[in-house]
Amino acid sequence: MKRLSIFVSGNGTNLQRIADYFANNPEVKIVNVVCNNPKAYSIERAKNLGIPLRMINRQEFNSEAFIQEMKSLDLDLIVLAGFLWKIPEDLVKAFPKKIVNIHPALLPKYGGKGFYGEHVHEAVVAAKEAFSGITIHYVNEIYDSGEIILQAYTKLDEKETPDSLAAKIHQLEQAYFPVVIEQVLLQQH
């Protein structure tokens, strides 16, 4: 059986979709949800899904104890699903090629510090890009720059707004993220 931990900071639509996708798959278990934001709707979702919830503050998150705690869970993959803190280097080192992130744009453009949530879509629309999309990638020590697993594209319309683009990106995320997670798990030995 494959064991996942899902890190979240916000609404948790990706968390919900991933949990629903694997709900009837006895080979995949979400062992916990790690959340850094006490106001996140993800908390409700984790409770409703019956998944153990681990709230963290910054100090805990950066501690050796947290790494050990995560290691003790015997995880196959950590999934960052709208998680807004940078992953500490030691945590990355403890889970080599075992952390994946979804970014709501086509990296390397519109990545790095400050490019999250609506800020990404605002910047893409303001630049009149012809395309945007999603990037699912492994997490390394440098923000938004780990090896890319998959990018999926969507076209911008002439009248595109950050909100309308967000909706398109959201559809891509829902369609691709669980499937890519499944593929990553299948590739592991």
Handedness of CA 36, 100, 147, 141 (dihedral sign): positive
Contact between 135 and ligand GRF (CB under 6 A)?
no
Which amino acid type is present at position 186? L
Contact between 12 and ligand GRF (CB under 6 A)?
yes
Tell how far CA 62 is from the center of its chain. 19
| Span of 30-38, 46-54, 98-106, 150-158 interacting with ligand GRF by CB under 6 A | 98-106
Q: Kindly write out the interface string for residues 148-187 of this chain, putting x where it contacts ligand GRF by CB under 6 A and - elsewhere.
A: -------------------------x--------------
How far is the C-alpha of 154 from the C-alpha of 165, rounded, in Å? 9
Asked if residues 32 and 74 have their Cβ atoms less than 8 Å apart, the reply is no
Catalytic-residue membership of 121: no
Least Å distance, CB 74 to ligand GRF, is 25
Contact between 14 and ligand GRF (CB under 6 A)?
yes
Could you count the other beta carbons within 10 Å of the beta carbon of residue 25?
Answer: 12
Least Å distance, CB 37 to ligand GRF, is 10
Contact between 11 and ligand GRF (CB under 6 A)?
yes
Of the candidates 81, 118, 126, the one whose C-alpha atom is nearest the C-alpha of residue 100 is 81
Contact between 129 and ligand GRF (CB under 6 A)?
no
Beta-carbon-side half-sphere exposure of residue 152 (alpha carbons within 13 Å)? 17
How far is the C-alpha of 80 from the C-alpha of 102, rounded, in Å? 7
Choose which of 5, 7, 13, 156 interacts with ligand GRF (CB under 6 A).
13
Active site residues: 103
Judged by the rule CB under 6 A, the positions of this chain that interact with ligand GRF are 8, 10-15, 81-82, 102-104, 116-117, 173
